[in-house]
């Protein structure tokens, strides 16, 4: 089977970066992507204060920038929150929602993630909706139940047209920042499950980009991206080095043209 969908690779900088280091990283990525095949789309999700810097330094490149979260509220007395419309003011394209670090450290429920997804869409952003199971849940055999419930909570509040505009990232919690990636077979199995779940929402939703995230590195990227239902990656640690990130983006170019 050939995966005809274009590939998307998005960096998640998490809470890393300072102005000077960012400039070198952003310029390196902007320059490096010029030699990538056209079917590989590239994004970077930076901390909120650096959206303006990303806009300035990536503006004329093909790299799309974005945020790592948005508020579930439109505006108002929510000290410390950042509205999706504020992110959109910086011509951002993406907003990650429901990252496992937000779910774990900030108690974000799937219902809250669903509201954030709606806010991102309403502001014209593409939400990257993260789902994933813990090691305990995987070992307990409930992976599909967990990720299915997380995805369903989001799909339930979206129209078919809205759902067709999201990106989904499968990020097993046990693989994030641990150096221990899911095998390409493990990832493909969950992606195929998520693809079916998306298709059940409507034919237009079946082809939304499904990214894998969790210790993706230049060494394992091509194998992951070659899988039938893996349309690219959400990259944490390896997105902080231009060389590694670009090598992963290049692997997506290879994967895009390989028949399964
Ligand atoms: C992430 O934070 O989304 C992520 C996938 O991290 P890492 O690549 O470092 O595992």
Which atom of ligand 1 is nearest to 14's Cα? Answer: 2
Looking at the domain assignment, is residue 171 inside a domain?
Answer: yes
| Rounded distance from Cα 119 to ligand 1 centre (Å) | 24
For 223, the domain range is 7-259
Number of domains in the chain: 1
**Protein residue with least CA distance to atom 4, ligand 1:** 236
Looking at the domain assignment, is residue 192 inside a domain?
Answer: yes
* Whole-number Å distance between alpha carbons of 2 and 157: 32
- 146 band by pLDDT with thresholds 50, 70 and 90: very high
- 5 band by pLDDT with thresholds 50, 70 and 90: confident
Residue pair 227/191 in contact (Cβ under 8 Å)? The answer is yes
- 256 band by pLDDT with thresholds 50, 70 and 90: low
18-49 pLDDT per residue, tens: 999 999 999 999 999 999 999 999 999 999 99
Report the DSSP pairing between strands 167-170 and 7-12: unpaired
At residue 210, what are phi and psi to the nearest 5 degrees? -115, 110
> At residue 257, does pLDDT exceed 60?
no
* Whole-number Å distance between alpha carbons of 97 and 110: 10
Looking at the domain assignment, is residue 194 inside a domain?
Answer: yes
* Whole-number Å distance between alpha carbons of 158 and 115: 10
| Rounded distance from Cα 13 to ligand 1 centre (Å) | 9
pTM of the predicted structure, to 2 decimals: 0.96
3-state helix, strand, coil split of the chain in percent (to 5) is 50, 15, 35
> At residue 259, does pLDDT exceed 80?
no
Residue pair 65/92 in contact (Cβ under 8 Å)? The answer is yes
Looking at the domain assignment, is residue 59 inside a domain?
Answer: yes
> At residue 167, does pLDDT exceed 60?
yes
Looking at the domain assignment, is residue 2 inside a domain?
Answer: no
- 260 band by pLDDT with thresholds 50, 70 and 90: very low
42-80 pLDDT per residue, tens: 999 999 999 999 999 999 999 999 999 999 999 999 999
Beta bridge partners, 44, equal: 11, 65
Identify whether 99 is a catalytic site residue.
yes
The CATH number of residue 150's host domain is 3.20.20.70
The pLDDT score that the predictor gives to residue 258 is 43
228-246 pLDDT per residue, tens: 999 999 999 999 999 999 9
Q: Using CB atoms within 10 A of its CB, is residue 259 exposed (0-12), middle (13-18) or buried (19+)?
A: exposed
Looking at the domain assignment, is residue 155 inside a domain?
Answer: yes
Who's near 38: CB < 8 A, 6+ residues apart? Answer: none
Looking at the domain assignment, is residue 1 inside a domain?
Answer: no
Who's near 192: CB < 8 A, 6+ residues apart? Answer: 228, 229
- 87 band by pLDDT with thresholds 50, 70 and 90: very high
Which atom of ligand 1 is nearest to 175's Cα? Answer: 10
Of the residues 101, 108, 133, 171, only one is catalytic, namely 171
């Amino acid at each position: 089977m050939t995966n005809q969908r274009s590939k998307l690779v998005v960096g998640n900088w998490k809470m890393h970066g300072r102005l000077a280091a960012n400039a070198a990283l952003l310029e390196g990525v902007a320059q490096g992507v010029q030699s990538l095949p056209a079917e590989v789309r590239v994004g970077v999700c930076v901390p909120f204060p650096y959206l303006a810097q990303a806009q300035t330094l990536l503006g004329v490149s093909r790299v799309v920038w974005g945020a790592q979260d948005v508020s579930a509220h439109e505006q108002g007395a929510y000290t410390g929150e950042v509205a999706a419309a504020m992110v959109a003011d910086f011509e951002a394209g993406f907003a990650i929602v429901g990252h496992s670090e937000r779910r774990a450290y900030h108690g974000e429920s799937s219902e809250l993630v669903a509201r954030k997804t709606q806010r991102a869409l309403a502001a014209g952003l593409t939400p990257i909706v993260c789902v994933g199971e813990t090691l305990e849940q995987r070992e307990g055999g409930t992976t599909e139940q967990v990720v299915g419930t997380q995805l369903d909570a989001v799909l339930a509040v979206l129209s078919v047209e809205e759902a067709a505009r999201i990106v989904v990232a499968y990020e097993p919690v046990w693989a994030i920042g641990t150096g221990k990636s899911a095998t390409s077979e493990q990832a493909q199995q969950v992606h195929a499950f998520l693809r079916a779940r998306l298709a059940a929402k409507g034919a237009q939703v079946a082809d939304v980009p499904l990214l894998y995230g969790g210790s993706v590195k230049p060494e394992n990227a091509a194998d992951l991206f070659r899988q039938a239902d893996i349309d690219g990656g959400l990259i944490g640690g390896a997105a902080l080095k231009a060389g590694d990130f670009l090598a992963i983006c290049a692997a997506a170019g290879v994967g895009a043209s390989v028949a399964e």
